[in-house]
Structure 1
Amino acid sequence: MPFDLLAQQPRLLYLLQGLAAFAAVTGLILLMLHRSPVRGRGAPILLLAPALLLLTAGVVLPALRTLLLSFTDGEDAAWAGLDNYVWMFTDLGSLTALRNTLTWAVLVPSLVTAVGLLYAAAVARSRFKTLALSLVLLPMVISFVGAGLVWKFVYAYRPADADQIGLLNQLVVALGGEPRQWLVESPWNVLFLVVTAVWTQAGFAAVLLSGAIDAVPAELTEAARLDGASPRQIFWRVTVPLVRPTLLVVLLAEVTGTFKAFDIVRTMTAGRFDTGVLAHEMYDQAFRYGHTGRGAALAVLLFALAGPVVALQVRAQRRAR
């Protein structure tokens, strides 16, 4: 019976065959090292071989296939040349997704880093610092889908003559205003989605920056205080310059994260009302509309945007060390 099931599911069979081949290669390498230890540069290469094999099979080959697919279109993968890239930079929906992605890449990292820094500085000398950091870190426990659902209820809209279930519209009505469809009105709806992303990620920045602030030598802050510097001057002229490497790491990590923004957009608006981003547009084109070439072209664009940022992030992490 299990063999019949595998025969009916060729993809599962290929996966099991690949795992078996990987296990065999890894076992053979470990056996070679156990029987006859390799000295010099050979041992590291052998030990890295399984990881390099997985990297090639899971990253390099799919990336090359995606690049090739970006020059094709249709179910028969007919050669389309640069048509998909021309479409990407001329189609209104694609350009809107690109604009929104760049908006996310600017606003989310900036706001997350700023909120995290200010919050970490505010609780740095508090007796309840651990509790305060735990509270701000709680949203990270929730998945992006869960966060999107939570904030979708916050922005929920009902007609003026009905009871409001959305917290934001309840506050507006209580102050004498009219309820609004926050997730429908463009371009402000993009900013409301950004607020959701900031809410989920600010705790990550606060925890990292709190550790960096704790590492600032007390002698420097004390010397600045003896010289007559105010707490604000100490913060901006002593603390911030010393935690700048951590700030850069957090900022770049958030930039790379925004390029993958999908869950929040999918959950809250499904990309409607001009809120789509590149990752969501890529999903729609490839899986909803069947334009695999266009989806692949959008994936290549995402890679081109994220690649330099990842390189800067690696460089910043090395400097921080």
Structure 2
Amino acid sequence: MTEQLLQTLTAVLISIAVCLFYFAGSNFVLDKIIHVPFVGRKTLDQIRSKTRPWLFIAPALLLLGLFLLYPLLETFRLTFFNATGETYVGFSNYRWIVFDQNFLLTIRNNFLWLLVVPAVSTALGLIVAVLADKVWWGGVAKSMIFMPMAISFVGASVIWKFVYDFRGPGADQIGILNAAVMGLGLEAQAWVTIPFWNNFFLMAILIWIQTGFAMVILSAALRGVPTETIEAAHIDGASGLQIFFEILIPQVMSTVLVVWTTITIIVLKVFDIVIAMTGGQWDTSVLANLMYDWMFRGGGDYGRSSILAMVLMVAVVPVMAFNIRRFRTEEAQR
């Protein structure tokens, strides 16, 4: 433990020293060494002032290019190659992805995740945020609901494995869900192996985690709603549901969209829950799992795994573009 702490501290100190040396050295070069013949001092100062910001962002641009842009271009290139990434095969991987049944199944599953998880998580978070402020123990309730956010997706999956646990017909069941079902006089089930419906059982895990995130963000937004507006609605005879749907939701709609798009991006990248709960079996695979299977299982296939990665990226881009456009629109209105 001591050795690991020393290594971490050494790495931090070296990183800080490198950053200081880079910025000090680059500014020294810019101020003392760079001279342009036949250019006045004022013009030279303008050149330096315009160049200086690039010195600060150059390392970030370099890292972005190295770890984001280059992998993206390389992945796109590999979509035109075979499993070993050595033989050019043209658009055969693109033809494969259109007709492959497993891919079509994962698209269906991803669509279900996108349809259910962001909507339910955001809705539950909003409802809890509103109701928790109306009771004296609301702070405790919020803390309990937010707590799953501190758990990793794999850790949450392990917890929910006990909820869905099935020990076989006639065996003593320890799963909470099967205990409840048997208490109602019904038979225990292996819930995560039931095709189609098992996707919703896996979605419940992510909803359980993300509801706390939605609740915290929306609770902060609701505190910004003017109390005078709500009091005026009460005086006019508005019911609680009318206040909720016609005053509170319109007032926090921009925040609702932020929460929804954030959870949507998380859903598009979901991997941990599926791999920990089912490994993608029983028709539960999603894009990230299918990509993992083609790349790291059965010897690996660079071409097909790369095209699956590109599909996943293309699916994320519209959501990101919508979020950025909405943010710029709000900034322009301020």
TM-score by length of 1: 0.89
Tell me the residue number matched to 2:324: 314
Q: CA deviation at 1:205?
A: 0.2
What secondary structure does 1:183 align onto?
A: helix
Inter-partner Cα distance in structure 2 for 1:160 and 1:174: 15
Tell me the residue number matched to 1:11: none
Inter-partner Cα distance in structure 2 for 1:83 and 1:206: 46
Q: CA deviation at 1:242?
A: 0.4
Note if 1:204 corresponds to 2:198: no
Q: 1:301 to 1:131 in 2, by over 3 A?
A: same
- Which runs of structure 2 are paired with 1:170-319 in the superposition (5 Å)? 170-289=179-298, 290-319=300-329
Tell me the residue number matched to 2:103: 94
Q: 1:234 to 1:76 in 2, by over 3 A?
A: closer
Which is worse superposed, 74-83 or 232-241?
A: 74-83
Inter-partner Cα distance in structure 1 for 2:49 and 2:234: 55
Seq. identity, %: 40
Query: What letter matches 1:315 in structure 2?
Result: R
Query: What letter matches 2:313 in structure 1?
Result: F
Tell me the residue number matched to 1:146: 155
Moved over 6 A (4+): 23-26
Which is worse superposed, 206-215 or 220-229?
A: 220-229
Given the alignment, which residue of 41, 61, 68 partners 1:52? Answer: 61
Inter-partner Cα distance in structure 1 for 2:329 and 2:215: 20
Q: CA deviation at 1:129?
A: 3.0
The answer as to whether partners of 1:248 and 1:316 remain within 8 angstroms in 2 is no
Q: CA deviation at 1:35?
A: 6.2
- Which runs of structure 2 are paired with 1:96-135 in the superposition (5 Å)? 96-135=105-144
Q: CA deviation at 1:36?
A: 4.8
The answer as to whether partners of 2:85 and 2:302 remain within 8 angstroms in 1 is no
Q: CA deviation at 1:268?
A: 0.3
Inter-partner Cα distance in structure 2 for 1:32 and 1:185: 62
Work out which of the two has the higher radius of gyration on C-alpha atoms and give 1 or 2: 2
Q: 1:26 to 1:94 in 2, by over 3 A?
A: farther
Q: CA deviation at 1:59?
A: 0.2
Inter-partner Cα distance in structure 2 for 1:88 and 1:262: 20
What secondary structure does 2:90 align onto?
A: coil
Q: 1:26 to 1:293 in 2, by over 3 A?
A: farther
Cα shift readout 1:61-81 (whole Å, capped 9, x = no counterpart): 000000001111122521111
Query: What letter matches 1:130 in structure 2?
Result: G
CA RMSD of superposed structures (Å): 2.1
What secondary structure does 2:49 align onto?
A: coil
The answer as to whether partners of 1:113 and 1:202 remain within 8 angstroms in 2 is yes
Which is worse superposed, 32-41 or 156-165?
A: 32-41
Report the number of matched residues.
302
Inter-partner Cα distance in structure 2 for 1:123 and 1:47: 45
Which is worse superposed, 243-252 or 35-44?
A: 35-44
Note if 1:30 corresponds to 2:40: no
Query: What letter matches 2:203 in structure 1?
Result: V
TM-score by length of 2: 0.86
Q: CA deviation at 1:117?
A: 0.6
